[in-house]
A and B are shown apart, each in its own frame.
Chain A
Amino acid sequence: MERAVPRAGIRRRLRLATAIGALLTLLGMYAVSTTARADAAPGTNAIRVAEFPADCGFSHRLPDDPIIFPGLPGASHMHSFFGSTVTNAHTTLPDLLNSTTTCNPGVDTSSYWVPTLYRNNVPVEPAIVTFYYLGEGVRSDVVARTEPLPQGLRIVAGNALATGPENSIARWSCLHAGHVPPSKNFVNCPAGTMLESYLDFPQCWNGRDLDSPDHKSHMAYPVNQACPASHPVPVPKLRQVLRYPVNGDPSQFRLASGPGYTMHGDFFNAWPVAEMARRVNDCIRPVIKCGHDGRPL
């Protein structure tokens, strides 16, 4: 469909691109001016993104889920675990606090897990696994009063029971192939690129429960850029980004939970309280991009 464009067309496109570029610059200035309100005195070279990361490689696989099936080993579909190296069906917070971890930074002994991806029925683990903690999706004044994620908090995101793209928040795309439109189901990534999955966790807490009977209702997504009255406490938004070393025909892929749109993630927070608090204070509230050590980049 996209063919060679005649010269007049190119010139028109250039003018259009210039106009769009100018517009984007204006928007960018607006964005900077609004986010700048979150902090009166940012560091001179700070990158104005409220973020700190944890990179946590693959640890192990088990058909266990200590949130959904506590105490019931083998009850779940296959999960791939990241972070804490000890997680199984019986895992509790003290187990995680005393655990070794695959995370950088090593202070993060939290456990993160997702349904295992299979290519032609052979398990494939992501080569790059990043958990971003972000101050975004809510107004800047809400970002400025973000609270640390409480230790022991359990959050699930995504819908393992999704019966189609319409009731899913999964997002599949290609690393280094931005022209492939993202989809709620697997996408066909060109050779030399990687299939990637993005998943955003809810960031509004009810301020009371570390878990709930349905494992969801103690957390909520923002409404109109703010946390709803039922879940008034803004916490950092966890964004899970997984890069799988596979590409090509999506029909060769499945998740342990089903099609791509059943992608989901589970998080069991075991960050040391002081380390989490420092990062919220130094990175999220003042809108500064931090490295793995939780210091401004």
Chain B
Amino acid sequence: MRTTAASSALVAVTLLVSGCAHAGPAARPPTATTGNAASPAGTAGPGGTRGAPAFNGTDVAWLQLHVAMAERLLPALDLVPARTTDPAWRRLAAQVAATHRADLTRARGLLAGSGAPATNPHEGHDMPGMVTAEQLAELRSASVAALHRLLAQHLRAHLTQAVRVAAAEQRSGAHPAVTALAAAVVRNGTAALARLDRLDPPPASAGAR
């Protein structure tokens, strides 16, 4: 069941990515996100009269948010190899970065096919789970011990929020390729959080996970 869904999602992604290489986002009628953008999130389903799956407002909002969040985390992860020699931290940062890069490619391809504006609606905006410019500067100048502590803090905040909103996309999204990507984000994010917890046990109060 899961493999079927995943493979059909992959096909959908491939189709969308190749399709929109020719027709820019503007060439697509804005039906999916106009007027009913925010309306029945979760009930829209793969609507339309043809087989082409439709994006609902939740799909587009989640893709935009996920792209913006990943773009904020990657610079922090990319600092790690130069700032610490600890192999466990380097491995975790590399794994999470690789997953995020792959997710970003999929998410950008889906967004391009959705007809949504290509601009980042969260540019410069500090949303929950985003690494801020100040935090990034702090990471650049931190001692190794402080780096591990700050990295754990930011990574935990990011992954927790990413899993939370991806789970909501799974429930309320409509486009199968987008909900499949959200499922992958939940799965990979949960696994990364578990690895992080082993490397840096969470504070007792928050350790109920």
Chain A residues in the interface with B (C-beta under 8 A): 63, 66-77, 89-90, 92-93, 154, 160-161, 163, 208-215, 218, 257-258
- Docked CA distance A258–B125 (Å): 8
Which 10 pairs between the two chains have the least Cβ-Cβ distance?
A71-B172, A71-B41, A71-B58, A70-B38, A70-B57, A213-B33, A70-B41, A211-B37, A72-B168, A75-B165
Nearest to A160 among chain B residues (CB) is: B125
Known: A69-B61, A70-B61, A75-B168. A211 touches B35 (CB 8 A): yes
Say whether chain A's binding surface is mostly helix, strand, loop, or mixed: loop
Could you say which residues of chain B place their CB within 8 Å of the CB of A214?
117, 119, 121
- Docked CA distance A77–B117 (Å): 22
- Docked CA distance A257–B124 (Å): 11
Chain B residues in the interface with A (C-beta under 8 A): 30, 33-42, 56-58, 60-62, 65, 115-117, 119, 121-128, 161, 164-165, 168-169, 171-173
How many residue-residue contacts, CB under 8 A, span A and B? 105
Could you say which residues of chain A place their CB within 8 Å of the CB of B122?
161
- Docked CA distance A161–B168 (Å): 24
Q: Are B65 and A75 in contact (CB under 8 A)?
A: yes
Minimum C-beta distance from A159 to chain B (A): 10
Known: A68-B61, A71-B169, A90-B41. A210 touches B125 (CB 8 A): no
Known: A90-B172, A211-B37, A212-B37. A71 touches B42 (CB 8 A): yes
- Docked CA distance A158–B165 (Å): 25
19 contacts between A and B (CB under 8 A): A66-B38, A69-B62, A70-B56, A70-B172, A71-B62, A73-B168, A75-B65, A75-B127, A76-B127, A89-B41, A90-B41, A90-B42, A161-B121, A161-B122, A211-B34, A211-B35, A211-B36, A212-B33, A212-B34
